[in-house]
Amino acid sequence: MSTTGTRPRARQDSEQGSGHGLRRSRPARAAASLGIAVVLGTSLTACGQDEDTSAALATNAELVQQYEQLLDTIEQGYTELDALRQSPAGLPDDLLDRISETLDSTQDLTVAPALAPVDASAEALEEENSRIQTKVDDASAVADEMADELGEARSPEAAAAAYTAALDDARAAKDEAHAVLDADGFTVEHYATDAEIALRDASNGIDQDDRDLAAHEKTYADLDPATADTEDVTAAATDAQRIAASYRAHTAAFEAAFAEYEGS
């Protein structure tokens, strides 16, 4: 399963659209539009516009506002779910697959449509409102899926599994780093060349990772992932993931420097 993704971008509605993307803030503009539509609808009713048409205009504005607010909710959910997809330690494959499917489904969403013209016929308004209602239903389903998946990913069980996996990964990264150090033994007296300095820096970085991992294990020695507060478990997992990433970065730097050192 791929672990890369792009930020959600609403497609331009081929039938009618305002051109705004998912990242634009909308509620204030939509609320103002709703107020305008209601006022205009009231005025048009007073001037002879039938009540059904006036009510349809108000419904149109409400649907546009609802859809725009759903897009904002979906953008926030996308950001949070994509972060989980990028750092999936401990999350079950089934959940990660569902998260990816949900994130991919946001590409089918369009930008919010423009408000219907105030002189539209009742028949045209009914058709347009039905079209927007379908968009609202689709966006609402995506938002619900995101909420369910976020809730599942942040459950105590998921947090415990994530921490266990992250700590195991940090320890494995340590073993990998020291295996490289042992295999690529070297003796340098003066650290004069760039390769020698890079070897020293990478080796020192691994030493610091050893100290960080030891400090982590001491800090969280009494942490029971199954019973501890979820926020504490998540913080511990994040720290373990940081240590694992640092080990691997320093290991890669050491290997690159050693290759240069041998070739010099």
What confidence tens digit (pLDDT) does each residue in 19-57 have? 333 443 444 444 444 554 454 444 544 444 588 899 999
- Output the six-digit token pair for 172: 């494995």
Query: What is the rounded average pLDDT for all residues in the chain?
Result: 83
User: What one-character DSSP code corresponds to residue 16?
Assistant: S
d(CA 32, CA 57): 14
Q: At 190, is the pLDDT very low, low, confident or very high (cuts 50, 70, 90)?
A: low
Q: What is the pLDDT of residue 46?
A: 44
Contacts of 117 (CB under 8 A, 6+ apart): none
pLDDT at residue 134 tops 70: yes
User: What one-character DSSP code corresponds to residue 189?
Assistant: S
Q: What is the pLDDT of residue 201?
A: 94
pLDDT at residue 240 tops 60: yes
Q: What is the pLDDT of residue 263?
A: 78
d(CA 222, CA 97): 33
Highest mean pLDDT among 151-155, 183-187, 202-206 belongs to 202-206
- Output the six-digit token pair for 255: 């290997």
- Output the six-digit token pair for 260: 């240069």
